[in-house]
Amino acid sequence: MHESNEHGHPHAEISHTERPGYYEIMETAVRELLVEKQLIGAGEIRRQIEVLDSRTPALGAKIVARAWLDPDFKARLLENGRAGCEELGISFYDDTGLIVLENTEKVHNLIVCTLCSCYPRPVLGLPPDWYKLKPYRSRAVSEPRAVLAEFGTIIPDDVEIRVSDSTSMVRYLVLPRRPEGTEGFTEEQLAALVTRDAMIGVIPANSPAAENAP
């Protein structure tokens, strides 16, 4: 992994020019009162923001690529998702468990949180808005084929679709199928084909042909 070049500089100008709104003022007030009462430390929020910023789908993609290349690792990952991630140096900053769901010729997995927005944040970062909104949460469990079609994903009728509903303690990650034509690819080349949405299960991993298309 190399440093991104465009995001190294601060974007502070914007945040100072607008008056904070009602809810932003409430957030600041609650946070400062908790610090004054010594219930949380002043630096903890800043440190946690750094942790949140460090979590992106690149971590999940690395896990998927390793699982494609190393059958023993894949077996351990499917046995205990969290331990498998930790084996690759990806720590969990909360006490959630992780179950990795493998897509096969016969099974396609999809993850959702019908009650709120539970998501494998340590390995994917924060969820997209659509994952947190009513249409996806309500329909993923009752009409997953229609939902997948809206993402452009058509699953053949003889492939079973399994939808896993996340909880505050158990999160899921989809292990997509390895695309055709990737024999001899390195871990980095494979990881580049694995998107966030493929690990949610709404699309397959990119094929190398699509990746090279202009």
Closest to another protein by CB, 69 or 163: 163
Cβ pair 164, 103 in contact under 8 A: no
Q: 211 to each of 79, 165, 214, how far by Cα in Å?
A: 31, 31, 8
Provide the CB-side half-sphere exposure for 166 (13 A, CA).
29
* Catalytic-residue membership of 85: no
DSSP sequence for 13-68? HHHHHSPP-HHHHHHHHHHHHHHHTTSS-TTHHHHHHHHHHH--HHHHHHHHHHHH
User: What CA–CA distance (Å, rounded) separates 78 from 100?
Assistant: 5
Cα–Cα distance measured from residue 37 to residue 58, given in angstroms and rounded to the nearest whole number = 38
Q: Residues 15, 54, 116, 168: which is the catalytic one?
A: 116
Least distance (Å) from another protein to the CB of residue 108? 17
Provide the minimum distance between the beta carbon of 10 and another protein in the complex, in angstroms, as a whole number: 7
Residue 88 or 93 having the CB closest to another protein? 93
For the bound state, the minimum distance from the C-beta of residue 144 to another protein, rounded and expressed in Å, comes to 11
Answer for the pair 61, 192: CB distance below 8 angstroms, yes or no.
yes
Cβ proximity to another protein: between 76 and 132 the closer is 132
**Shortest distance (Å) from residue 67 CB to another protein:** 26
The one catalytic residue in 85, 118, 164, 166 is: 118
Quick one: which of 106, 114, 87 has its CA closest to 172? 114
Site residues for another protein per CB under 8 A: 10, 12-13, 15-20, 23-34, 37, 39-40, 44-46, 48-49, 51-52, 93-94, 112, 114-118, 126, 128-130, 132-139, 141-142, 147, 150-151, 165, 168-169
Nearer to another protein, 10 or 214 (CB): 10
Active site residues per annotation:
113, 116-118
